[in-house]
Amino acid sequence: MALKVYRASAGTGKTYRLTLMYLSLLLGNAARFDPRAFYGILAVTFTNKATDQMKTRILDTLESLAAGKVSALGSDLCAETGLPFEELAARAATVHKTLLHNYSWFSVSTLDAFFQRVLHSFVMEAGLGTGYSVDTDTEYLLDKTARKMITRITQDDALRLWFTDLINEKIARSDRWDALRLLRQVGFQATRESFRTMGEPFAKKISDREFLRDFMGKCQLIIDEFEQRMAAWGKQALELISARGFSTTDFPNKVSSFARYFEKLTDPYPAVDTFIPGKRVLEAVDGTEAVWHNKNSPTGLETMQRVLMPVLRSIVDHYHSHYQQYATAVAIREQLPQMGLLADVITTMRQVQEEDNTLDIGDSTYLLSQLAGDGNTPFIYERIGAGYDSFLLDEFQDTSYLQWKNMHPLLVNGLSQGSDSLIVGDVKQSIYRWRNSDWKILGEEIAKDPQLIRQGVDFYTLNTNRRSGREIIGFVNTLIDNVIETITEEVRKKTSACGNLETGDREYFEQMLHVAYRDHTLHTPGDRTEDPHGYVQVNTFSAEAEKDTTEKALSSLQDLLGSLLSRGYSPSDILILVRSRENARTITRHFLRNTNTGKGEGHPCPRVVSEDSLFLASSPAVNLVIALLKQAHYRHDTTNARVASSLLSGFGKPEVSDDREFLDRLRYLPLADAFEAIMQRMDWTGRLEALPYLQELHDMLLLFAGREGGGVYAFLNWWYERGKEKMLSTGLPVQAVRVLTIHKAKGLEAKVVIVPFCNWPLDSRSGSQVIWAGTSREPFNQPEQLPVLYNDRLLNTYFARDYFMEHTQRNLDSLNLLYVAITRAREELYIFLPENEKSSSTDISFHIRKALFQTMEDGDLAWTCGEQQTPARQSTADDSHGFRPRAYPSGDFRNKLKLVYSEDDFEYAAGDSMRQWGIVLHKALARLEKQEDLAGVLEELVMEGELSGNKETVTGFARIIEKTLSDPQVSLWFDGSWTARNESSILGPSGKQRPDRIMEKDGRVVVLDYKFGKPDPAHHRQMNRYVAALKRMGYIQVEGRLLYFTP
């Protein structure tokens, strides 16, 4: 048995190949058949949508085969398994029935979902809380961590001193010093997989402030010594010029003379590029007389060559021998200080996750790699109750290093037991490197893996495109070949100009695109009865300003859409692809402005929708719900009141804004009931166009109330921080022209594809991102890797290799985006190249233009291939079989069954429900270590949105807690002398128990449990269970105390 690796180009049927392999494993062969074979097969795809599609395809195929229907896939299965069709159909019927009756064992999932499933079996070992949730919003985690760090700075002297020095240093360098941004950047580095793979010892070392202080001192010494020496020589040269009655502008070329270089050297705050000698300086060193003097020079200037040459040579010689070391020290010194915040940021990030009981999406992969790091991989995966032998990995080019590290032992284990496995991917479609995907695993490493080679690896290439017309396939082949050559030519220019690269590295970077795109040429199918034709059109738009080229592209796009619709294409046949969401917004705004203008051969503007229309915040109904909730709780917010009034007028209910009784009632209702009340007051239960948005909002409200336990105030804070970025779980409308980013369009296809802004930069984030680089040169080799800002200045450092590794991969990323975009079309492909005076070889449009047009002159040009066809007419019937609600019933909450609690006479704070009041008070006590920390704890809750920022509310909570803690006996428990554990779990025979606070001191243990309301015998029984559990654990002197908090 062997591992089959398919390098599948776009449109060549890699999903078909994956399904074929899965079904052949299920249906067996002449010697083997197990109807429960799916128990040992794990199929992994990249997205949940792809997972659902693959499951559906497998089940539909089994059902079709069982019914005796002949298909291409059935014929291929007969060839793959060696079974006659009748036997195949009989087995398919058996497997289909078995699979449906054991559906939970049908293992087709995303890689992240599989890892989460495994990790749930190791909650205790991984140090996770029971019932934790996975949070995919890393940006929110970083922002919350940064804000929490800001509150800690005033309480930690060492942290405050380091942070203050860092900010002062950035101010001195005229660098950005936004504190929150700085902390988010540090947090981002901590969450990157490239940092995590360096291990805990490295993280500890790079965040050690004593080590950093010493290392930065060495860097600063190198910087100072170089700058001072160069400044001294520059000053000496200027003095020699002045002593002979000349100035630097007396030399040829005046203000651009080589002698101005001496002035730059004496700048008290020199930039790192200041010391690089220009062309005229190098000519002066070589003795070129034209730069020293000419016929217009002052008398006697010719003598300055003999006077200045020794100094100039000393400067240039020192530059050549020491500048690389200096530039390296500067690059390190700029970024290294913020690593001193790394340990605090990581600690704070973990605290935030523990408080929220969440796990960042990237943490699961890392934690699993740590658990499996001691060689217990088979045990790790067997613990989930599944023993997989065969693995089918789709979209493998998007796999990260840690994901591959976790899957690799399973794959090897399955192969060693004689099972088949499959890997399918395409390096040319690797466009998720920002999500840690590593194309080199598929492109380079599998072929070199000794363990896989020992088991056997067979490589196959799928390059027969069954998606696109002949002309489109030919265009893709030609364009990619030419663009690879022109981009490689630019890379070669850079590598040739850089003297800091080894020959092997230089060749690797110059050949990277060719290696990644080997065997990329697509072929048309030879078994088609008809060879469909295609059409390609490329337009250039030139203007001085970017705004003008954008308008040209938008106008042409509108005309093109009108033409396509008039020729018989439906809006759903057309897909517009863009590089960024901002491009999508530009297009949708244009069409909103020009709706029904009649442009495009007399046709009105078609309906154009982008992902922005899926945001909940794009729905007026959702915005009105939020505005009414806010108006009920923030009556003095006049701006929000005007927003609510305007929205209400749009819905024909302006009187609601003055309905004080309704708004007062909203204020006292729990979150879910408040939503129901708004639905009824606005008569929205039958408003069909708003139902998807309102239903999604309702689900979100219920999820928030159940998970976060907060009320309306906390929800509103969450909404403005995160909720407004949430999107509908449904897709874009069918009868509309879709606008998608290229990243979202991978795996999709359309009859017509338009790329209106095919002018993205090859290296889009140069100068704004930190990379990890390393060198063996002393003294910069103490940590294996160092953070440096990615920009062209790294070419002059010891990190030139790391620069080119990042630079060439970014070029590949941009080329892959182009490849994905132009391979989505089936019948017609349109590409627009908007160019302005700033356009250059750093833009993808430059290379497309160079590949297709003979001239590089300005002007609006067109390139075409093939002929436009009349589209085949298809039924416009709605093919969606999903359930569509015709109403959204909502009942009056006052008519619902209610539970009556015994605390009828308990007075809660105005504006808070009983449950919310207790929850917030409990959260405050859970964070309280010492009594004097109370003000800080309440401030944290206000900042996190758990507690209203109203001064009276905060004072009220502080008064309630201080009243109870003022008891002499109670105050001793909060004086800081006890070792306290808040909300620690105790595992016992009857399950897990969680007292609010356990304190230890001098062999004595006190258990506290907080209660709100009247005493109850059940409280004492609960406390007795806590005490008994601790005594069973070996504690002898254990006391239980109940603390009742009342206003």
Tell me what the mean pLDDT of segment 682-704 comes to: 79
The confidence band for 221, taking pLDDT boundaries of 50, 70 and 90, is: very high
| pLDDT above 80: residue 908 | no
| pLDDT above 70: residue 59 | yes
CA 884 to chain centre: 32
| pLDDT above 70: residue 504 | yes
Residue 528: the pLDDT is 65
Q: What percent of the chain has pLDDT over 90?
A: 36
- What span, in angstroms and rounded, lies between the C-alpha atoms of 665 and 673? 10
Residue 767: the pLDDT is 55
| pLDDT above 70: residue 911 | no
- Look at the chain and count its residues: 1047
Identify the three-state secondary structure at position 483.
helix
Residue 715: the pLDDT is 86
| pLDDT above 60: residue 707 | yes
Tell me what the mean pLDDT of segment 700-714 comes to: 77
The Cβ-side half-sphere exposure at 282, using a 13 Å CA radius, reads 7
Spell out the long-range contacts of 967-974 with Cβ–Cβ below 8 A and sequence spacing 24 or more.
970/1043, 971/931, 973/997, 973/999, 973/1006, 973/1008, 974/928, 974/929, 974/930, 974/931
Is the model more confident about 707 or about 210?
Answer: 210
CA 485 to chain centre: 31
Residue 368: the pLDDT is 79
Residue 577: the pLDDT is 95
| Max mean pLDDT range (514-523, 724-733, 957-966) | 514-523
Tokens 């069982």, located at residue? 66
Any idea which of 146-155, 470-479, 685-694 has the lowest mean pLDDT? 685-694
Tell me what the mean pLDDT of segment 435-463 comes to: 91
The confidence band for 906, taking pLDDT boundaries of 50, 70 and 90, is: very low
CA 357 to chain centre: 21
Is the model more confident about 51 or about 129?
Answer: 51
The confidence band for 819, taking pLDDT boundaries of 50, 70 and 90, is: very high
Cα pseudo-dihedral 684, 690, 695, 701, rounded to 10 = -80
- What span, in angstroms and rounded, lies between the C-alpha atoms of 112 and 120? 12
| pLDDT above 70: residue 903 | no
Tokens 């850079």, located at residue? 494
Residue 705: the pLDDT is 78
Residue 916: the pLDDT is 61
**What are 765-802's pLDDT values in tens digits?**
655 688 999 999 989 988 889 999 999 999 999 999 99
Residue 946: the pLDDT is 66
pLDDT averaged over every residue in the chain? 85
| pLDDT above 90: residue 822 | yes
- What span, in angstroms and rounded, lies between the C-alpha atoms of 640 and 634? 9
- What span, in angstroms and rounded, lies between the C-alpha atoms of 465 and 13? 8
Of 407, 405, 402, the C-alpha closest to 362 is 402
Q: Phi then psi for 768, rounded to 5 degrees?
A: -130, 5
Residue 366: the pLDDT is 82
Structure tokens belonging to residue 1018: 């059940």
Cα pseudo-dihedral 481, 486, 492, 494, rounded to 10 = -140
**What are 5-26's pLDDT values in tens digits?**
999 999 998 888 999 999 999 9
CA distances from 735 to 344, 581, 601 (A): 52, 21, 21
- What span, in angstroms and rounded, lies between the C-alpha atoms of 755 and 472? 14
Structure tokens belonging to residue 980: 């306290």
**How many other β-carbons are positioned within 10 Å of the β-carbon of residue 870?**
8
| pLDDT above 60: residue 501 | yes
Cα pseudo-dihedral 855, 857, 860, 862, rounded to 10 = 10
What string of H, E and C letters represents the secondary structure of 80-149?
HHCCCHHHHHHHHHHHHHHHHHCHHHCCEEEHHHHHHHHHHHHCCCCCCCCCCEEECCHHHHHHHHHHHH
Residue 260: the pLDDT is 93
The Cβ-side half-sphere exposure at 849, using a 13 Å CA radius, reads 25
Residue 540: the pLDDT is 92
The confidence band for 376, taking pLDDT boundaries of 50, 70 and 90, is: low
Residue 595: the pLDDT is 64
Residue 708: the pLDDT is 63
Q: Are 549 and 541 in contact (CB under 8 A)?
A: yes
Q: How far apart are the first and last CA of the chain?
A: 73
**Helices 691-707 & 671-681, crossing angle to 10 degrees?**
160
Of 458, 402, 457, 465, the C-alpha closest to 428 is 465
CA distances from 929 to 131, 621, 957, 976, 979 (A): 25, 44, 17, 7, 9
Residue 769: the pLDDT is 85
Spell out the long-range contacts of 485-488 with Cβ–Cβ below 8 A and sequence spacing 24 or more.
486/841, 486/846, 486/847, 486/850, 486/851, 487/513, 487/762, 487/811, 487/815, 487/847, 488/513, 488/514
CA 571 to chain centre: 31
Kindly write down the DSSP assignment for every residue of 618-640, as one continuous string. G-HHHHHHHHHHHHHH-TT-HHH
DSSP code, position 778: T
Tell me what the mean pLDDT of segment 599-620 comes to: 72
Pairing of strands 862-866, 535-542: antiparallel
Q: Are 472 and 867 in contact (CB under 8 A)?
A: no
Structure tokens belonging to residue 201: 């010892």
Is the model more confident about 884 or about 57?
Answer: 57
**How many other β-carbons are positioned within 10 Å of the β-carbon of residue 394?**
29
| pLDDT above 50: residue 596 | no
The confidence band for 1012, taking pLDDT boundaries of 50, 70 and 90, is: confident
Residue 526: the pLDDT is 77
Residue type, 263: E
Conformational region of residue 13, where left means phi above 0, alpha means psi within -120 to 50, and beta covers everything else: left
Is the model more confident about 858 or about 1031?
Answer: 1031
Sign, CA dihedral 830-835-840-842, equals negative
Residue 633: the pLDDT is 85
The confidence band for 496, taking pLDDT boundaries of 50, 70 and 90, is: very high
Residue 709: the pLDDT is 62
Of 995, 744, 1021, 997, the C-alpha closest to 49 is 744
Of 757, 762, 823, the C-alpha closest to 480 is 823
| pLDDT above 80: residue 171 | no
| Max mean pLDDT range (204-208, 247-251, 432-436) | 247-251
Residue type, 976: G
Is the model more confident about 1 or about 642?
Answer: 642
Residue 495: the pLDDT is 93
**What are 454-480's pLDDT values in tens digits?**
999 999 999 999 899 999 999 999 999
The confidence band for 904, taking pLDDT boundaries of 50, 70 and 90, is: very low
Q: Are 335 and 116 in contact (CB under 8 A)?
A: no
- What span, in angstroms and rounded, lies between the C-alpha atoms of 706 and 406? 33
**How many other β-carbons are positioned within 10 Å of the β-carbon of residue 108?**
25
- What span, in angstroms and rounded, lies between the C-alpha atoms of 707 and 927? 19
Residue 732: the pLDDT is 59
Tell me what the mean pLDDT of segment 73-88 comes to: 90
Tell me what the mean pLDDT of segment 904-931 comes to: 64
